């Protein structure tokens, strides 16, 4: 996870040109390396643009022009020599067939060749398969009996008595609970995106990190190889609960990275709140809610003091995120509590953290991950990571996520 940077392999990874072992190492590294992840995003965008390059049809007059040139040029190689076993009329039939084939394959090529395993409807739209689990879910306004197709742009809706399951291309599945409304926004080789307008969904994804996204009214959930539930209420607020791996919640420049066993809430306009472990105390969570979303600055500061009193070493997950979200004396308080619970590693200074030096923040976070994974200090890092992966089933998924 903390091995050499992988920026030079990004395009090869996206194009499935790496071996399974290399892909696994790539995926493991990119989950934790901010630098490589940022470059990954950039190159993935470049790929997305390059995929828009259309094949351009050659003009019809080219062949006649070429024939004239061939006639002018003469020479034995263009005379009608009949020494080959295949007769000319066969060639002509084949030529006619291939012209038809090339035209009809054009559409197939544009969609299928460039979108990997993405399924395409008869109307040429990418879609995901939907299975009815209960009641009568609807796609558009049509109820589905057992199976359905959710094409890009279409809404899937369940009422109080219905449930459905979506196969997310070939990378995972999403269970849709009752009273939920989701829309397929995009699905192609480098990005699969769903919109959750309201209700609850549970996702199990075995894709490389940052290929599957869910847009909600108050944040975007970016999968980092994981399983999670996401719930959106009627006001657009949402709650993410991660059961395996990692998920990032993002809105503009605000990002919360949520590991297995932790949750995070979001609010419209504000975006993602601060992640917290599900086994933290009720008081801790109540005060954190005020720190994140109370409009009164004094109330937020008071809540922070109470919250810090309740913090355990594991809660440095919450405190690390808060470092960049509070300022002044509040940031000093957060730093001091963190330093008391888990002293910063060598090279990470108080001044650097208080000035939000990104390298130092990342360095401290990497050190704290062992605690967040539930592994005691002193355990060798590779062993700790192997344990954590096994515990979360990540190792198996990383093998599965390697591009074929």
Which residues are at the interface with other proteins (CB under 8 A)? 7-12, 15, 17, 39, 42-43, 45-47, 49-59, 62-63, 65-67, 69-70, 73, 75-86, 88, 91-92, 94-95, 97-99, 101-102, 105-106, 109, 113-114, 185-186
Is 35 strand, coil or helix? helix
- Pick the closer one to other proteins by CB: 65 or 347: 65
CB of 17 to other proteins, least distance (A): 5
Which residue, 46 or 374, is less far from other proteins as judged by CB?
A: 46
Question: Would you say 50 or 340 has its CB closer to other proteins?
Answer: 50
**Two structure tokens written together for 280:** 């933290």
- Tell me how far apart the alpha carbons of residues 174 and 161 are, in angstroms, rounded to a whole number: 18
- Whether residue 400 contacts residue 206, with contact meaning beta carbons closer than 8 Å, is answered with yes
CB contact set of 210 (below 8 Å; sequence gap of 6+): 30, 37, 40, 41, 44, 222, 223, 224, 248
Nearer to other proteins among residue 75 and residue 295 (C-beta):
75
* Backbone angle region of 199, left / alpha / beta, with phi > 0 → left and psi within -120 to 50 → alpha: left
- Provide, rounded to whole angstroms, the least separation between the CB of residue 62 and other proteins: 6
Do 251 and 281 form a contact (C-beta atoms < 8 A)? no
The rounded distance, in Å, linking the Cα atoms of 394 and 385 is 10
By beta-carbon proximity to other proteins, the closer residue of 84 and 298 is 84
**Dihedral class, residue 134 (left if φ above 0, else alpha if ψ from -120 to 50, else beta):** beta
Instruction: Supply the minimum distance, in Å, between the C-beta of residue 295 and other proteins.
Output: 30
Number of Cβ atoms within 10 Å of the Cβ of 398: 23
CB of 197 to other proteins, least distance (A): 15
Output the CA torsion 69→75→78→83 (10° steps): 180
Give residue 93's Cα distance to chain centre: 48
Nearest alpha carbon to residue 322 among 312, 333, 313? 333
- Shortest distance, CB of residue 324 to other proteins, whole angstroms? 24
- Cβ closest to other proteins, residue 9 vs residue 231: 9
**Count of Cβ atoms closer than 10 Å to residue 245 Cβ:** 25
Q: Minimal distance in Å, beta carbon 69 to other proteins?
A: 5
Cβ atoms within 10 Å of 162's Cβ, excluding its own? 21
Q: Please state the closest distance from residue 56 (CB atom) to other proteins, in A.
A: 4
Measured from the CB of residue 108, what is the shortest distance to other proteins in angstroms?
A: 8
> Please, what's the largest Cα pairwise distance for the chain?
94
**Residue of 132, 129, 131 lying closest to 118 (CA atoms):** 129
Return the number of the residue (110 or 339) whose C-beta is nearest other proteins. Answer: 110
Residue closer to other proteins, measured from CB, 242 or 402: 402
Q: Name the residue nearer to other proteins (CB basis): 76 or 160.
A: 76
Shortest distance (Å) from residue 73 CB to other proteins: 7
Nearer residue to other proteins within complex by CB, 69 or 299: 69
Min separation Cβ 84 and other proteins, Å: 4
Tell me the C-alpha distance between 369 and 385, whole Å: 9
């Amino acid at each position: 996870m903390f091995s050499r940077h992988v920026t030079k392999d990004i395009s090869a990874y996206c194009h499935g040109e790496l071996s399974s072992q290399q892909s696994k190492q790539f995926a493991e590294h990119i989950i934790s390396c901010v630098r490589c992840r940022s470059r990954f995003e950039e190159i993935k965008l470049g790929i997305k643009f390059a995929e828009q390059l259309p094949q351009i049809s050659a003009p019809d007059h080219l062949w006649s022009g070429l024939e004239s040139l061939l006639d002018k040029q003469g020479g034995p190689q263009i005379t009608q020599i009949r020494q080959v076993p295949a007769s000319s009329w066969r060639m002509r039939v084949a030529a006619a067939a291939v012209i038809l084939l090339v035209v009809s394959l054009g559409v197939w090529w544009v969609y299928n060749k460039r979108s990997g395993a993405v399924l395409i409807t008869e109307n040429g739209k990418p879609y995901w398969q939907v299975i009815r689990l209960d009641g009568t879910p609807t796609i558009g306004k049509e109820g589905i009996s057992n199976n359905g197709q959710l094409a890009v742009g279409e809404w899937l809706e369940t009422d109080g008595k219905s449930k459905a399951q979506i196969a997310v291309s070939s990378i995972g599945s999403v269970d849709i609970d009752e009273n939920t409304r989701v829309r397929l926004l995009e699905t192609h080789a480098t990005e699969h995106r769903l919109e959750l307008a309201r209700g609850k969904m549970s996702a199990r994804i075995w894709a490389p990190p940052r290929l599957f996204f869910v847009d909600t009214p108050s944040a975007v959930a970016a999968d980092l190889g994981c399983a999670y539930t996401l719930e959106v209420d009627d006001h657009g607020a949402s709650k993410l609960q991660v059961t395996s791996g990692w998920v990032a919640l993002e809105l503009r420049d605000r990002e919360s990275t949520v590991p297995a066993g932790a949750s995070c809430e979001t609010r419209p306009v504000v975006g993602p709140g601060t992640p917290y472990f599900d086994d933290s105390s009720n008081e801790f969570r109540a005060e954190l809610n005020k720190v994140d979303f109370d409009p009164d600055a004094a109330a937020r500061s008071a809540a922070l003091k109470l919250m810090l009193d309740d913090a355990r070493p594991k809660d440095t997950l919450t405190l690390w995120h808060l470092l960049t979200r509070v300022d002044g004396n509040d940031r000093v308080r957060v730093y001091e509590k963190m330093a008391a619970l888990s002293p910063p590693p060598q090279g990470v200074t108080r001044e650097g953290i208080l000035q939000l030096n990104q390298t130092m923040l990342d360095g401290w976070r990497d050190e704290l991950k062992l605690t967040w994974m539930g592994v005691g200090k002193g355990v060798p890092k590779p062993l700790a990571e192997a344990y954590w992966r096994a515990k979360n089933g990540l190792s198996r998924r990383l093998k599965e996520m390697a591009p074929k």
